[in-house]
Every structure is written in structure tokens, then in C-alpha cells.
Amino acid sequence: MATSISELTYDLSLRSLAQQEASLNELRSRTGVLLAATAIAIALLGGRSLDDGARTALDLAGVALAVVSFLLSVFILAPKQRYIATADAAAVHEYLRQKGADVTEAMEGLVYSNREVWEENQAIVDGLVRAYRWACLTLVGAVVLWSTALAIQ
């Protein structure tokens, strides 16, 4: 249990970073499933609708949407250089030591530093969530187009 406001807020800042990282890991797990679903849809419906040799606009639009879903999924799963998972402990130690900060001042400084890291990371996570939504929508669109094309044939 926290014994001071500095300790309490420091613990909260660490928890928010941990929760953010867990959210990113969950998004990547769901994206892996989406990527597998995209591959299955391409293999089953895409292959079936393109199998007869007569390529309609529905078939080609379905292919385009499936490719977009696939590429967005790969983008989400790819490592991000700007995402900061941890602070450089040695650099923080050296900075605080040169500054002559005590434990309370160090915690207070790290709370603000953690907030900045969280905000920078959150911009990345928000972009990945948008990409995930588009990947889902484009996969659904591809399935609908291919299903319609197969029904028409």
C-alpha cells in the first residue's frame, strides 16, 4: 500500500503503462486471428469465386478488399519503433543522481515522464485500433462481395 501521494501516483502511472501494453498485446492477438480468418476467406471464397475464369467486378473488388485486410493485419503485427515499452533505467538513474533528487522527487518526476510515454504510445495504439477496425470491415466486405458473386453464378 502506498505511503505517500508520490508513491501512489507513481504506482498508478506504472499500472497505466502496463495496462496499455496489455491492450496492445490483446490487439495483436486478435489481429492474428483476423489474419487467419482472412487467409481462410481468401482460400475458400476467393478461390471459389475466381475459379471459373470469368472475373467479375464483384470478384475483383473482393480480392482488393481481402488484400487490404491482409496488409492492414500485417501492419498491426509488425514491430513499431516509436512504441516505448520501458524507460532506460540507467539513464534515469544517472539523471536523478546528477540532479540530487530524493526518492519522492524521483517518483514525482517519473510520474510525469510515464504520462508523456503513455500519451506517445497511446497515439500509436489508437492508430493500430483504427487499422484493426478497417481490416475487419474490409474482410467482411470481401466475404459479402464473394458470396454475392457466387450466388449470382
At residue 2, the pLDDT reads: 65
Separate counts of helices (H) and strands (E) for the chain: 5, 0
* pTM score, whole prediction: 0.85
Q: What is the dihedral of CA 50, 64, 140, 55, to 10 degrees?
A: -20
Please list the pLDDT of the chain residue by residue as tens digits (153 residues): 668 888 889 899 999 999 999 999 999 999 999 999 999 999 998 888 777 777 789 889 999 999 999 999 999 999 888 777 777 778 888 888 888 888 888 888 889 988 999 999 999 999 999 999 999 999 999 999 999 988 887
The domain locations on the chain are 5-152
Task: Tell me which residue of 101, 126, 103 sits closest to 24, measured CA to CA.
Answer: 126
Contacts for 69 with CB less than 8 Å, ≥ 6 apart: 34, 38, 135, 136, 138, 139, 142
- Tell me how far apart the 2 most distant CA atoms of the chain are, in Å: 77
